[in-house]
Structure 1
Amino acid sequence: MDKNPCISLPSFLLISSLLLQGISAVRYIITNNVPNHPGGIRFEREIGVPYTLKTMKTINNFIWNVLEEPTHGERKNIPVLNVFISDFTWAAGYTNGDFNINISAQAIQSYPPGGPKFFFTSLMYHEMTHIFQWSGNRTAPGGLTEGIADYVMVKSNFYVPSVYPKPGSGRRWDEGYGVTERFLEYCDSLRKGFTVSLNRRMRFAYSDNYFVELLGKPVGQLWAEYKAKFGNIPARENDGNNSHKY
């Protein structure tokens, strides 16, 4: 055996590529904190850890694709992502810190018969986007980051159009969820890739002036023109929060 084997250049590049992928890959961990809760039981029986792990990888790649972040240097460094199934009732899901997603067992329990995987996956698209999107070091309006999370969810088609806010509805551009998502779609229609460019600008800081830079108008004016275009549809109660009713 040759004690000093020589590695060809193609082999070296392949090995280097695999090493880089291993270093940058996100590790997913799912913990069911409430295995005896009806929602925790339903998670194990109708969704499961294997499905969740496979789906998280798919969602992760989808987010990078939608936000147009093909290289590691353009992405957030998230070495590990935890998902906890826990007992809380004030939301369907939420993130805390940079690496944690919390899913309500009560929400899973309430999913309609035959539909837990669909609604669970919809929620995961939203919550995982929060992990990987930029937020201006948490200076961006919360409603805007919620709108971008819904924007990715809508792109995935894991949502229910019949109960989702219609274009033109809402009280404020930064109301969040579906209201802001529909406004971002409108801004995309004015400039292709607007939402992607806005997210990219928010890597280090946020400013309302980004709307002027990208679209040539203040956000307030854009919102007024958007509302006028769709006939100033009045906001329904909790209109912006339909994604979290899933």
Structure 2
Amino acid sequence: MATKTHTISLPCLLIALSLLQATLAAVRFGATNNASSTLGGQRFDRYIGIPYTLQTMPEVANFIWKLFQQPTEGERRHYYPDDVVNVIIQDLQDGALGETGDNNVYMSAKGIETYPPGDGAKFMFTSILYHEMTHIFQWSGKGTAPGGLTEGMADYTVLKSPFYVEGYSAPWEGEGERWDEGYGATSRFLEYCDSLREGFTPELNRMMREVYMPEYWNLLFGKDVDQVWGEYNKRLN
């Protein structure tokens, strides 16, 4: 009986290798409840759950990549060799509702105890997930960017997300004493900078891939950040 031999051309081989690399580069998602014996862990299982978390994580990731204008894998932050982003429900001892470490998002079981029941719990959980997953994927100049700026960018994602509620998810314009105060104050400032230069925040994020430098503001605006912050406050007041 004749043996049939299958051959593959070099172009086909290169395409196959490219598809394999794309599969390896794609981010995978995992979720674990390490606090299932606690009230918060049980509340998570009842109102949110692992299936909802695994369904929502890719949606949040795709929103972040679109917001920060990163359509290709090469423009995005990865965690090799596994490239798995995990959400872990556990007791956090510092009082935070959520925090990140490397490629993990830790959601506070104690914080989940305070969520409203039903869909309100999913709303709270998901809005925090937008913030924390931004820390997973944003560039921070390998730790050289001001902490208030990276926190502000994370709240900027919430501000632009479907889970933003005026006056609840972020403060009104004009709050904050410094541009790098972080969270809502900085997110509103970044929104203002977008109004001056379309796509400013994604552009600043790209520039911070390797290092953060104050000179970036001069490159983008022709003036330093303190001057832009002063103009922002003057306009509001």
What TM-score, normalized to structure 2? Answer: 0.90
Measure, in 1, the Cα distance between the counterparts of 2:128 and 2:4: 54
> Which residue of structure 2 lines up, in the alignment, with residue 42 of structure 1?
43
Measure, in 1, the Cα distance between the counterparts of 2:137 and 2:3: 46
Deviation at 1:62, TM superposition (A): 1.2
Q: Which amino acid aligns with 2:148?
A: G
Measure, in 1, the Cα distance between the counterparts of 2:106 and 2:172: 28
CA RMSD of aligned residues (A): 1.9
Which segments of 5 or more consecutive residues in structure 2 lack a partner in the other structure? none
1:46/1:17 Cα in 2 relative to 1: closer, same or farther (>3 Å)? farther
> Which residue of structure 2 lines up, in the alignment, with residue 75 of structure 1?
76
List aligned pairs for 1:39-188, cutoff 5 A: 39-78=40-79, 79-88=83-92, 90-96=95-101, 98-114=102-118, 115-163=120-168, 164-188=170-194
Deviating more after overlay: 183-192 vs 16-25? 16-25
Q: Which amino acid aligns with 2:40?
A: G
Contact kept in structure 1, 2:26 and 2:73, CA below 8 Å: no
Contact kept in structure 2, 1:137 and 1:205, CA below 8 Å: yes
Measure, in 2, the Cα distance between the counterparts of 1:157 and 1:108: 21
Contact kept in structure 2, 1:121 and 1:158, CA below 8 Å: yes
Q: How many residues align?
A: 230
Contact kept in structure 2, 1:136 and 1:206, CA below 8 Å: yes
What TM-score, normalized to structure 1? Answer: 0.87
1:2/1:131 Cα in 2 relative to 1: closer, same or farther (>3 Å)? farther
Measure, in 2, the Cα distance between the counterparts of 1:111 and 1:14: 48
Measure, in 1, the Cα distance between the counterparts of 2:26 and 2:59: 13
Relative contact order, CA 8 A, sep 6+: which one is greater? Answer: 1
Q: Which amino acid aligns with 1:87?
A: D
> Which residue of structure 1 lines up, in the alignment, with residue 32 of structure 2?
31
Measure, in 1, the Cα distance between the counterparts of 2:3 and 2:13: 18
Q: Percent identity, aligned pairs only?
A: 56
Contact kept in structure 2, 1:93 and 1:103, CA below 8 Å: yes
CA offsets 1:131-161 (integer angstroms, 9 cap, x no match): 1000011010001001111111221121221
> Which residue of structure 2 lines up, in the alignment, with residue 241 of structure 1?
none
> Which residue of structure 2 lines up, in the alignment, with residue 20 of structure 1?
21
Measure, in 2, the Cα distance between the counterparts of 1:148 and 1:125: 11
> Which residue of structure 2 lines up, in the alignment, with residue 211 of structure 1?
217
Measure, in 1, the Cα distance between the counterparts of 2:61 and 2:104: 14
Measure, in 2, the Cα distance between the counterparts of 1:148 and 1:5: 52
Measure, in 2, the Cα distance between the counterparts of 1:109 and 1:13: 52
Q: Which amino acid aligns with 2:85?
A: L
Contact kept in structure 1, 2:47 and 2:117, CA below 8 Å: no
Deviating more after overlay: 192-201 vs 63-72? 63-72
> Which residue of structure 1 lines up, in the alignment, with residue 232 of structure 2?
226
Q: 2:200 aligns with which of 194, 201, 204?
A: 194
